[in-house]
Amino acid sequence: GAGKTVSANLLVQQLTQLGKASNRVLERKILQVNPLLEAFGNAQTAINDNSSRFGKYLEMIFTGSGAVMGAQLSEYLLEKSRVVSQAPGESNFHIFYYIFAGLARKDGY
């Protein structure tokens, strides 16, 4: 949709650079959590193939001197009803299809 994920990632990159992160490993770890979380919370809808069906709140943690120390991610309002039923033309959360695709490759199907 509107570019919220890309914008959030750019903001995290900027904050970690301004926050004097001692190395880029922490920044990379913070940014790598987002695609994993989205696999559990995004689904195809009639309007959007990658629609967020939840909200998330990223709290970045800084030391007293302004260095990035870590981050905490919280999710809320997950559309749990989607697990058991979807409207016509919509699908379940992406993670279920990723797991199935991995199992299919492992079993040779």
Q: What is the pLDDT of residue 8?
A: 82
Residues 6+ positions from 11 with CB-CB distance below 8 Å? none
**pLDDT tens digits, one per residue of 23-66:** 678 878 888 888 888 888 899 999 989 888 888 888 988 888 88
Tell me the pLDDT tens digit for each residue of 63-109: 888 888 888 988 888 888 998 999 999 999 999 999 988 876 666 65
This prediction's pTM: 0.68
Q: Band of the pLDDT at 21, cuts 50, 70, 90?
A: low
User: What residues contact residue 53 under an 8 Å CB cut-off, 6+ apart?
Assistant: 41, 42, 43, 78, 79, 82, 93
Which pLDDT value is given to residue 1? 62
